Amino acid sequence: MKFPFCCFSSTSAAAPTNGSRLGQQTHENLRLFSYDELKIATDNFSASNKIGEGGFGSVYKGFLQDGTVVAVKVLSVELESMQGEREFVSELAVFSNIKHENLITLQGCCVEETYRLIVYDYMENNSLAHTLLGGEQNRMKFSWQVRQKILIGVARGLAYLHEEVTPHIVHRDIKASNILLDRDFTPKVSDFGLSRLLRDNHSYISTRVAGTLGYLAPEYAITGHLTRKSDVYSFGVLLMETISGQSVVNFDLLEGQKYLVQLAWEAYQASDLARLIDPMPGLNLSKGEEEAVRFLMLGLLCVQETARLRPSMSTAVKMMTNEIDIRDFKISQPGLVADLMKIKLGSKTSSSKSSITTATNTSYF
């Protein structure tokens, strides 16, 4: 069986790529690991070393022979659909020419028989979902300054992908479990398996919507029309989630399913956005509630139903750093996809096999 991608180290020759340019584009500093090497590093992929579960595989903590601690993502490759293979190729293709403080660093990969593994830097504080939303004890670690640093960092990483990289990159799955945190709580955007390249500022029409319910931009979910503003919407949801400490989707036996975007809009209409701020004592708002409310207003700007009204990510950064006054912008009604039946699915997929996942707090990729 031939695979369309090969990655290689600077000291090894590139293997044949079956006519694909992806192998030639791989960053020369990527290291080629053997399967046995990563098996030993993770103690045979033991359950005790498992640190996360993603849509296309599991992630394990590993110790290389030189003592380096890494995260090893083991992709599940379905031979019929080649789904895991597509995510593997997409992720490595993206990392072939990008580098930013707020993007996860790729160390290398493994391509052996049907095995597909990706090796990343290990993040000491796991993911934003695991740490911030993992319980009250964890949430107390997140002061206002830490949350502000995380959100500005994520925004800068996305602005780099959207505006500085050519062709532009749309991540397609921005959510709390895909924001990893290093020792100093510096955020790293991760998991580019669903990302898409946009050439010449054009949009992308997808025949198969992918992402996480609660974070999906309505125009993309319903029509498959993907633009950079789709990521902006997801970032707006992430911003609300980070400041409120609440899940994107909440289930109530009496009221049913409630979305964080709905709660934020209701609070805004009642001129009481402050009620959405996380009440945890560790938040320590040095400037009172005003700054957190300003960020929540940005979140609402990002999730507006009309995509063209949403700010670019570089503008969002300027709003968060007070270079642009958020209050100069009118906030219109947010968009929301609460009905799974409205999500566009490809002709060969069904709701059970689509790439839509629920907004759960799966940690580390």
Which residues participate in the annotated binding site for ATP? 73
CA distance 52 to 75: 12
Q: Which residues pair with 63 in a beta bridge?
A: 69
CA distance 78 to 239: 34
Percentages helix, strand, coil for the chain (3-state, rounded to 5) are 35, 20, 45
Lookup: tokens for 269: 């209409």
Q: Which residues pair with 205 in a beta bridge?
A: 225
Query: What letter would DSSP give residue 363?
Result: -
Element (H, E) at 146: helix 144-159
Active site residue 200: no
> 3-class DSSP state for residue 75?
strand
Query: What letter would DSSP give residue 204?
Result: E
Lookup: tokens for 339: 């009905």
Which of 43, 121, 173, 184 is an active site residue? 173
Q: b/e for 220-240, b at 16 or more Cβ within 10 A?
A: bbbebbbbbbbbbbbbbbbbb
Contacts of 44 (CB under 8 A, 6+ apart): none
Q: Which residues are annotated as a binding site?
A: 73
Hey, how many other C-beta atoms are within 10 angstroms of the C-beta on 277?
19
Read off φ and ψ for residue 142, nearest 5 degrees: -100, 85
CA distance 339 to 74: 32
Between strands 31-32 and 50-54, the pairing is unpaired
List Cα–Cα distances, 229 to 32, 43, 148, in angstroms. 35, 42, 22
215 in Cβ contact with 234 (< 8 Å): yes
Among all residues, which ones are annotated catalytic?
173
